[in-house]
Amino acid sequence: MIRQEELTDAVEHAAQVASERAGDVDATGTFPRQTIDSLAQEGLLGLVSASDVGGRGAGMREASAVVERLARSCASSALVTTMHYCATAVMEAHGPVELRREIAAGRSLGTLAFSETGSRSHFWAPLSTATAEGDDVLLDASKSWVTSAGEADFYVWSSRPMAGDGASTMWLVRAGQAGIQVADGFNGLGMRGNSSKPMTAKRAAVAREAMLGSDGGGFDLMMGVVLPWFQVLNASASVGIAEAAVSATAAHAGRTRFEHLGQSLADQPVTRHHIARMRIQTDMARALLMDTLQAVETNRPDTMLRVLEVKAAASEAVVDVTELAMRVCGGAAFRKELGVERNFRDARAATAMAPTTDALYDFIGKAVCGLPLF
């Protein structure tokens, strides 16, 4: 198990690299490879891998701290790391031991290939197929968004079941798999370095052993393993982006002067009012994140409700906080040098990432009203 000081030092080193590269990653839409290499060197790609395969044996709380800290520096790196930890959680549950060792050693980056052109943000209902042919299984799919596409070493891939009941089956797809194509380029509003590109599979032949869990058991894996990790880590990224916006805004307000008045921007009561709202929104999102972690760790009866809530709440908070940051910092925020406009753009991804904020409201409303979620 990793010690707290060791974790803090390791993540600070990686975050330093992320900070240095963030502007360029955003401007050019380049995958943050140096940051990922630094995470590997610091032992943070293997953070949540079990110690019996050489990992650090840490849990969701430590992963959340890493993602939040990275998001303050480079949100694209935080998102890539989020998807890697989600994919690692699946591998820890069902993956082959040699891949688990590679992940633990920092030699393998993973991600999730769930969203599809046909079922869009309803990732729990894939339309792609897996067809048995001899000893192989042929995967056919049109995946609409895959973070780290073309950069990852392995993909946790969803399809409809081969033969079993259920909505989906999960597969392990390695980089370089014949029959899989990654589309060119990702040109997004925010998270510009996350390389979230479409991928297609045309009769991609994988071994039957590439199945993760049981045929038809994909839905349970998505909801039982992936969802808690994704929701918590996505919320952690939102909290990190919000923290970055609060810090940058407060610093700007403190040093920016109206010379004719002999006052700073922070001397204006309306400015302070907005900064206070930013602080409160960020702290509320963090408090819910901490409570969700506590619910998950102690298996509280309200865990699923908290897991659903945390990403919705954090995604709304970070949109509000970064909107206020733009308003408080005025024209200075409209240009790139403050970094606030990057926070503003990056913040918007969480709402669109599935389960989307509006879909979460629907699920939460159903849960509160005692209705089945699906």
Ligand X SMILES: Cc1cc2nc3c(=O)[nH]c(=O)nc-3n(C[C@H](O)[C@H](O)[C@H](O)COP(=O)(O)OP(=O)(O)OC[C@H]3O[C@@H](n4cnc5c(N)ncnc54)[C@H](O)[C@@H]3O)c2cc1C
Q: Does 83 bind ligand X (CB under 6 A)?
A: yes
Write the Ramachandran bin of 131: left for phi over 0, alpha for psi from -120 to 50, otherwise beta: beta
- The contact pattern for ligand X, residues 306-345, with x = CB under 6 A and - = no contact, is ----------------------------------------
Phi then psi for residue 154, to 5 deg, are -150, 155
Q: Any contact of residue 183 with ligand X (CB under 6 A)? A: no
- Minimum CB distance to ligand X, residue 294 (Å): 26
Q: Which residues fall within 8 angstroms of residue 43, CB to CB, at 6 or more apart?
A: 2, 10, 56, 106
Compute the distance between CA of residue 174 and CA of residue 33 in angstroms, rounded to an integer: 19
Binding to ligand X by residue 194, rule CB under 6 A? Answer: yes
Interface characters, 99-118, with ligand X (x: CB under 6 A): ------------xxxxx---
Q: Which is nearer to ligand X, 88 or 271 (CB)?
A: 88
| Interacting residues with ligand X between 342 and 371 (CB under 6 A) | 349, 352-354, 356, 358-359, 362
Contact between 242 and ligand X by CB under 6 A: the answer reads no
Q: Is 120 in the site for ligand X (CB under 6 A)?
A: yes
309 closest CA partner among 284, 343, 277:
284
Calculate the alpha carbon distances from 181 to 142, 150, 210 in Å.
Answer: 10, 9, 18
Three-state secondary structure readout of 275-302 = HHHHHHHHHHHHHHHHHHHHHHHHCCCC
Tell me the two tokens of residue 22. 């963030």
CB of 239 to ligand X, least distance (A): 17
How far apart are CB 25 and ligand X at their closest, in Å? 13
| C-beta closer to ligand X: residue 108 or 356 | 356
Does residue 146 touch ligand X according to CB under 6 A? yes
Which of 93, 352 has the CB closer to ligand X? 352
Query: Binder to ligand X among 124, 145, 155, 230 (CB under 6 A)?
Result: 145
Beta carbon nearer to ligand X, 31 or 252: 31
Question: Among the candidate windows 27-35, 53-61, 190-198, 327-335, which touches ligand X by CB under 6 A?
Answer: 190-198
Least separation in angstroms between CB 180 and ligand X = 15
Q: Which is nearer to ligand X, 231 or 249 (CB)?
A: 231
Nearer Cβ to ligand X (282/356)? 356
Separation CA 202–CA 216 (nearest Å): 21
CB of 209 to ligand X, least distance (A): 23
* Per rule CB under 6 A, count of chain residues that contact ligand X: 25
**Cα dihedral 40, 45, 51, 53 in deg (nearest 10):** -80
Which residues lie near ligand X (CB under 6 A)? Answer: 83, 111-115, 120-121, 123, 144-147, 188, 191, 194, 196, 349, 352-354, 356, 358-359, 362
